[in-house]
Amino acid sequence: MDYNAAGSAGSNKGPNNAEYLALVQKRIDTFLMVHPYLKKGEIPSDMVTASGSGLDPNISPQGALIQVKRVAAARNLPEEKVKALVETKINNPAIIGTSTVNVLKLNVALDELK
């Protein structure tokens, strides 16, 4: 697996719910295990939380960029090449909203690099 959207299931639990907080902490721990070069404070929240449906195919540009090192190593590609590709896949909103990266489209583009 290369780039991934956070979480596999949505949540309707509030940010103070103990069960939800434990799940987020578990996701943080897992993320840090596969990205040992990061510190907890560097992980964008979308990497350890899930959309309401858990089906959002997008992650933040920050979420994609902090995974460059791992993905480049896994695919045996230069980090600069993977970073440049991520930057071309950033979707900026026309008027308002947040920038996103579509994980599926990014992974397909990575496949095409080989």
Rounded CA separation 97/16 (Å): 26
pLDDT (0 to 100) of residue 87: 98
Q: Tell me the whole-structure pTM to 2 decimals.
A: 0.79
pLDDT tens, 53-108?
566 789 999 999 999 999 999 999 999 999 999 999 999 999 999 999 999 999 99
pLDDT (0 to 100) of residue 29: 95
DSSP state of 101: E
* CB-based contact 101:66 (threshold 8 Å): no
* CB-based contact 35:70 (threshold 8 Å): yes
50 vs 34, which has greater pLDDT?
34
**Domain locations in the chain as residue ranges:** 18-113
Rounded CA separation 18/20 (Å): 5
Confidence of residue 16 (pLDDT cuts 50, 70, 90): confident
Q: How many CA atoms lie within 13 A of 91 on its CB side?
A: 12
Q: How far is CA 80 from CA 48, 59, 76, 84, 113, in A?
A: 25, 20, 12, 6, 13
Within 10 angstroms of residue 62's Cβ, the number of other Cβ atoms is 16
Confidence of residue 8 (pLDDT cuts 50, 70, 90): very low
**Is residue 10 pLDDT above 60, yes or no?**
no
